[in-house]
Amino acid sequence: MNTGSNEPGEVAVASDGSEVDGTTTDRARAERGLGSRAPAFIKARRVLHLSWQAGVFTVGLAVVAVGIVMLPLPGPGWVVIFGGMAIWATEFVWAQLVLRWTKRKVTEAAQKALDPRVRRRNITLTTVGLVIVAAGVGTYLSRFGVVMPWKIEE
């Protein structure tokens, strides 16, 4: 946003005209959210701001690493990874953009999943899959019974 003047009392208007009559458009509101959310006294001092960013990056990296470890282990791995991305998004524009893209894609997928045709297809595929698994378990039990296929010697 470039006002072209530092005089008080003048209305700031973005180059794309996003502020009209004191109201901002969705695009301007989205653009305003980018950037550091550090307190003003930290942003005012470059060394302090860089150390703040290093700390935020380190904490975010630790949270993302824990999330990656949780992927094969029991636990909410993806939720923790996105939590680490949210921590990074408090300071870094690239993380804010990745988080926005992810939110948009998740919303699109949720809307697509609620489509009646997609729901019917998913229910049909799940039913067919369960029937195949049940047939496999039935075949196994009819051939071998409840005895396990390996021999355990007592």
CB 3 within 8 A of CB 13: yes
- For residue 84, count CB atoms less than 10 angstroms from its CB and return exposed for 0-12, middle for 13-18, buried for 19 or more: buried
Q: Which residue has the higher pLDDT, 3 or 45?
A: 45
Sign of CA dihedral 123, 128, 134, 140: negative
CB 81 within 8 A of CB 53: no
**Of 30-34, 38-42, 89-93, 94-98, which gets the smallest average pLDDT?**
30-34
Cα three-residue angle 18-21-23, rounded to 5 degrees: 55
The conformation of residue 7, written as its DSSP 8-state character, comes to -
Residue 24: strand pairing partners:
19
3-state secondary structure of 23: strand
Q: What is the pLDDT of residue 135?
A: 96
Q: What is the pLDDT of residue 14?
A: 45
Distance between CA atoms of residues 69 and 142, nearest Å: 40
- What is the mean pLDDT of the segment spanning 19-48? 64
- What is the mean pLDDT of the segment spanning 126-143? 94
Q: Is this prediction's pTM over 0.75? A: no
Closest CA to 82 of 139, 10, 96, 73: 96
CA-to-CA dists, residue 79 to 8, 9, 66, 95, angstroms? 45, 45, 11, 15
Distance between CA atoms of residues 87 and 100, nearest Å: 14
Mean pLDDT value across the chain: 78
Q: Which residue has the higher pLDDT, 107 or 32?
A: 107
The single-letter code of the amino acid at 5 is S
- Per-residue pLDDT tens digits for 65-81: 999 999 988 888 889 99
- Per-residue pLDDT tens digits for 4-32: 444 554 444 444 444 444 444 555 445 55
Q: How confident is the model at residue 118 (pLDDT cuts 50, 70, 90)?
A: confident
Closest CA to 24 of 13, 34, 15, 35: 13
Q: What is the pLDDT of residue 52?
A: 83
